[in-house]
Amino acid sequence: MFKKILIANRGEIACRVIKTARKMGIATVAVYSEADKDARHVEMADEAVCIGPPPSKESYLVIDKIIAACKETGAEAVHPGYGFLSENPEFSRRLEENGIIFIGPKHYSMAAMGDKIASKKLALEARVNTIPGHNAAIDTPEQAVEIARGIGYPVMIKASAGGGGKGLRVAYDDKEAHEGFTACKTEAKNAFGDDRIFVEKFVEEPRHIEIQLIGDAHGNTIYLHERECSLQRRHQKVIEDAPSSFIDPATRKAMGEQAVALAKAVNYQSAGTVEFVVGKDKSFYFLEMNTRLQVEHPVTELITGLDLVELMIRVAAGEKLPFTQDQIKLDGWAMECRINAEDPFRGFLPSTGRLVKYMPPPEVHGVRVDTGVYEGGEISMFYDSMIAKLIVHASTRDHAIARMRDALNQFVIRGVASNIAFQAALMQNPRFLSGDFNTGLIAEQYPKGFNAADVPHDDPAMLVAVAAAIHRQYLARNATITGQMPGHEFTPGEDFVVLLGRDQYQARVLKADGGWDVSFAGERYELRSSWQFGDPLYVGTLNGQSICMQIERRGLVYRLFHWGVQADMQVMSARTAELRALMPIKAAPDMSRFLLSPMPGLLTQIAVTVGQEVKAGEILAKIEAMKMENVLKAERDCVVEKLLATPGESLAVDQAIIGFK
């Protein structure tokens, strides 16, 4: 067994590998860019080596720097995590040439299966069902359009080296095929250094289900059941669960055996995943093989009781798999939510900055949190948006969903926006709850994006009662301030008006033993809690039932977060409410003559010049944030008056880029 390994990655997955290595008694080496010098994985590892500036192509993607770090520290093997160099056969081959073991598949297996074009040809030879498409690299957008017409719209335009939704577009007509080809080529070159593009038929209403594999150097390859990964937004997985509620035992066996046959065809040795598109009738088609550890591997670990990282390390060290296919158990249900630094209320735009508050739920009762961040750390614009992975395990899918809802309620993040509200809303979506969904669910349920109005709270009385009680608690503290003028001491009232959106509630709040009694609309609500000022979580009971919600005070507004609902509430006296209704509403400034940056990011291109006449739909500028290229287009015909930013500049959200006449 290895004495020391290097992790050629960062963030959550680097921390995850370090945990298992530590459990196995193996010393670890972290590598980091200048932007990650204070990162959690650097602190956790036994040693750390700086490998360059923040951009990935100057640090985490430079093979020579990784090899040099191995030689400097005496690391015998390298775990690549996922992303970066994890599916680069050249990296695996170069390590082998330098006497360093790659904790992953052999370079020839990776080259065969990691390349989507080559793997599809192999699947055809192995008589695996494949999706109709053009299996050779495409050179021009015109050729892409011609091929797309031949296959029939809609089509998927994909980067051969792509992954994680990068370098992928769905086109429904010639214009989208032309633009999609160009965008995919640029994204793929920047993210993977490989801009080969191919086109295949897009299966509508599909399910995305993947089979986890593990193979050793002794000819043993075993499948570890499936993961349901159909809940996606723009081809990025949002929630994964295992097993799939859609797959029956016979289909599971057929998919697993086909995946194993494909892996054995290339002598696959390590953890890997074969992805399938599954139709309504349970017919399945090979999509691609990921020759690495997947982001969502924890759900497989929880239902099988196996540590996939440990198995990868043991296989790489030459050990034989310690089990057979019939010994793989299927225990309960596991579910994972990806907690990302993105704002669901602003079209899921990336959010960067400092984590002012970071309080994940406690890892008890089937709750697991995999993360690479800490309170006070920074979410950088140079890397992906993942903050953490929240994973739960329970006896049934319904119990797992209930456990996830509770865990999301307790997950506190401040300083950057997160998608927790969106995840919590999905946990209440009827189609998701029933298990009757496909990859189009999010686009169909939220066609205009996500906002708080999409998630009506099923018990608004709970929110009203908590807001009224908190406000009364603040007033009670104010009454204890020293130095008040005798005879004019502040005395809190008992009657209030609670504003929730356009609704008003007349509430009375009375002190009770261990909390407050709130009465409104003819009902009484007994709130009991030890909540103190500044606590982000309000934990207690309401009429004897346990409750937990997040609380944030913003000036005169109390922001409550519960079950996906983000409610901004105000509590005031009846007279104040009367006067407030008479206040004029201040109009927002007219910014329609400016192109504003919708997110923090790097301005990579301004596509217009001063005085240029621009037509609606034309490209104005491009911004890169968290490894994704975002194209900004004109909403209407206009004339460029001035340029207010320059390419290479780091933009803040809502910063003006271009002014129009």
Phi, psi (5° rounding) for residue 221? -135, 130
Distance between CA atoms of 508 and 121, rounded to whole angstroms? Answer: 71
How far the first Cα of the chain sits from its last, in Å, is: 69
Q: Are 114 and 196 in contact (CB under 8 A)?
A: no
Cβ neighbour number for residue 428 with a 10 Å cutoff = 17
R_g over Cα of the chain:
27
Beta strand pairing status for 367-371 and 271-278? unpaired
Distance between CA atoms of 607 and 620, rounded to whole angstroms? Answer: 5
Q: DSSP states of 76-93 as a string? A: -EEE--SSTTTT-HHHHH
Cβ neighbour number for residue 460 with a 10 Å cutoff = 15
Annotation says 444 is catalytic: no
The C-alpha angle 377, 379, 380, rounded to 5 degrees, equals 120
Q: Report DSSP state, residue 296.
A: T
Those residues whose C-beta lies under 8 Å from the C-beta of residue 317, and which sit 6 or more positions away, are 1, 2, 77, 101
Distance between CA atoms of 346 and 367, rounded to whole angstroms? Answer: 29
Element (H, E) at 495: strand 495-500
Q: Report which residue type is found at 75.
A: A
Catalytic choice (288, 301, 336, 629) = 288
In 8-144, the DSSP E strands lie at 27-32, 47-50, 77-79, 101-102, 133-138
Q: Report which residue type is found at 364.
A: V
Distance between CA atoms of 271 and 283, rounded to whole angstroms? Answer: 25
Cβ burial of 330 (10 Å; 0-12, 13-18, 19+) is: middle
Active-site residue numbers?
288
